[in-house]
Amino acid sequence: MSTVRRCAALGVVAATLMLGASEARAYCRTTTCDPERRECTRDAKGCAVAGTPLYWASECVSFVVHQAGSARHGIDATLFASEVSAAFQRWLEVDCGGGRTPKLTVQNLGPVECGRVEYNQRGGNANIFMFRDEEWPYVGGEDALGLTTIRFDPKSGRIYDVDVEINGASGIPISVGKPREGAADLASILTHEVGHFLGLSHTVAENATMRPAYEIGRDLTKLGDDDRAGICEALAPDRVTETQSCAPRHGFSSRCGGTKGGCSVARPGAGSGSELALGALAIALGAARARRRARRDAEPTRSAGIAGRPSSRAVRRTAD
Residues making contact with Zn ion (CB under 5 A)? 279-281
Closest by alpha carbon to 210, among 287, 281, 312? 281
Q: How far is the CB of 149 from Zn ion (least distance, A)?
A: 12
Q: How far apart are CA 16 and CA 23, in angstroms?
A: 8
Closest by alpha carbon to 312, among 293, 284, 291, 287? 291
Cβ neighbours of 31 (radius 10 Å)? 21
Taking CB atoms within 8 Å and a gap of at least 24, the contacts of 44-50 are 45/203, 45/204, 46/202, 46/204, 47/201, 48/201
Nearer to Zn ion, 109 or 223 (CB): 223
Q: How far is the CB of 281 from Zn ion (least distance, A)?
A: 5
Q: How far is the CB of 33 from Zn ion (least distance, A)?
A: 17
Q: How far is the CB of 167 from Zn ion (least distance, A)?
A: 12
Q: How far is the CB of 147 from Zn ion (least distance, A)?
A: 8
Nearer to Zn ion, 239 or 292 (CB): 292
Q: How far is the CB of 211 from Zn ion (least distance, A)?
A: 8
CA Rg value for the chain: 18
Nearer to Zn ion, 239 or 316 (CB): 316
Nearer to Zn ion, 313 or 316 (CB): 313
Q: How far apart are CA 184 and CA 216, in angstroms?
A: 6
Query: Do the beta carbons of residue 256 and residue 118 sit within 8 Å?
Result: yes
Nearer to Zn ion, 128 or 213 (CB): 213
Nearer to Zn ion, 109 or 234 (CB): 234
